[in-house]
Chain A
């Protein structure tokens, strides 16, 4: 009988049925243990969670030979793997991936606070053998992931602007993958946090909300540049909770956007965060979730990693193309009449936050962009602006040349639209913006420590 390939049976390592492991001490005493977690590493390696200083641990350090039985979650087929212990990792992408998954498993099995990952033990798979016995027929496959990926890739390839690219990507995840709760977060120029640029499937878009690097599923995926996938609900990695914890314990709290609630399912049972990378650097995270347990498997992860690769490359090339194609000069359109009571625009210099009357709008780089635009509008009567001049504007302090101005403008435009603000930003040709306002503007600059409006309801 042909030996099964490890990658062909990796679903068995998902742990729906716990793995069983046999080890042997140096003096020849066999030992058997149930495993709460097994992880596919690559076609020739698996990783097992080291959680306790127990007999298994002692044995593999004395005698690296082990045997493992894993069970297919749907067919009940069993496979016996012969393993050889290689090393233990206590930090890094694999460790973080397993730590996050273990938190989900612990919470699912009532073992939160008991299960704690001390290390990822990496084993070479010497042999894989099918244990003789009956098998159930596998259920019919869901829609082909490759076909879904192909359709999505075709739609992405047609996008000429970042805004459309993001919208099309999330729409494709729903149409072709049947994944209904999705978001894209981009890395802030300071590289300490991510901000939500687009979302789909939530009551509130949460555009502009922030997550610190290293917090929750999304933050860990970004920090470690590795996909993080959890199949059960877990408080430990619930990002709302992670944000609160971070806010309480660190100085980063001041810098974090907490006035815009994060989108997200209250009872998320499956989460998958995939880093978006291009040209060797991290651009952001593609995040999907589901109220259903074990919704995302290895194959879904593979598909989204491939998708995130194309998304990253497209984002970068659109950014570069928009910088090349920007038109510098544009004729001012006829000013539109405005009436009604003035809208008070407050700018707080300490964090560039903007309030329209008493409503919080945005802060940070997007806030400084908005402030520059409305000042030029009020003081010089300007309504059209080019991306190029914004990029060079010393008032806007883009934190990094790599910071995506286009993304900040999308963020700003979406926030204005969502707030149904009297001021709007519209696209006016390639690399140009048109500021429109329905009411006259009164600008108020507030110095450090100035009083802030109490947050409005909702």
Chain B
């Protein structure tokens, strides 16, 4: 990759964080805002990190996210939060160049693995598998990928350090 921003993003997301975002049983939520600064949000059903960790893609059900997708087409601003229920570890990424893309090869496998990981995570906390799978069901609607270059990352784990920038940014 020749994009100079990729090295910045690589610094934001180290290998350990990439594994957390893309393979842990984390709850993933995506935020946007429209021209009038009215925010919108939706739940994502999986995450892919580029090999060089410069780009992050999260998958959303289009039917559940219409206004959010309109916002992103209009201004490309995005905020994504990843939170692991049992540890409360929470990370927020921001981007200003988000694009809506079709799923790539292998994305459906990522989504299936995410479903298993999130089901196991919440199962350990007492939520039934059926409940979790209903919550993140994506079988019916069209899925799209929201891809962006993180330009900021913050820890939002509850406590005194919440809001601190990550990765020496």
Contact = CB atoms under 8 A, between A and B. Distances in A.
Interface residues of A, number: 43
B38 A34 contact: no
Given A34-B81, A71-B135, A22 B39 contact: yes
Interface string A20-32: 1111101011111
A429 B159 CA distance: 64
B52 to A, nearest CB: 25
The A interface, classified by DSSP as helix, strand, loop or mixed, is loop
A31 B92 contact: yes
B137 A33 contact: no
B41 A32 contact: yes
B63 A109 contact: no
Nearest to A25: B37
Contact of A24 (B38, B42, B88): B38
B30 interface: yes
Interface in B42-100: 42-43, 61, 63-64, 75, 77-81, 83, 88, 90, 92, 94
A78 B43 contact: yes
Nearest to A66: B39
B29 interface: yes
Interface string B110-146: 0000000000000000010011101101001100000
Contacts of B23: none
B158 interface: yes
A86 interface: no
Contact of A54 (B27, B80, B141, B162): B162
Interface in A94-118: 109-111, 114-115
Interface string A106-144: 000111001100000000000000011111100000000
Contacts of B156: 33-34, 54
A114 B132 CA distance: 27
A36 interface: yes
B38 A28 contact: no
Contact of B39 (A23, A52, A78): A23
B149 interface: no
A63 interface: yes
A55 interface: yes
Interface string A50-64: 011011000000010
B31 interface: yes
Contacts of B79: 22, 29-32
Contact of A32 (B31, B132, B137): B31
B30 A32 contact: yes
A33 B156 CA distance: 8
B41 A28 contact: no
Contacts of B40: 22, 67
B61 to A, nearest CB: 7
Interface in A4-34: 17-18, 20-24, 26, 28-34
A28 B63 CA distance: 25
Interface string A380-395: 0000000000000000
A196 interface: no
Contacts of A63: 37
Contacts of B77: 28-30
Given A22-B40, A52-B158, A63-B37, A30 B135 contact: no
A28 B131 CA distance: 35
B43 A20 contact: yes
A28 B135 contact: no
A343 B156 CA distance: 68
Given A30-B94, A80-B41, 13 more contacts: A20-B29, A29-B79, A30-B31, A30-B33, A63-B37, A65-B36, A65-B39, A69-B29, A78-B64, A133-B137, A134-B140, A136-B131, A136-B134
19 contacts: A22-B79, A24-B39, A26-B37, A29-B33, A31-B39, A31-B79, A32-B30, A32-B31, A34-B81, A67-B38, A76-B131, A110-B88, A114-B158, A131-B64, A132-B61, A133-B64, A133-B134, A133-B141, A136-B130
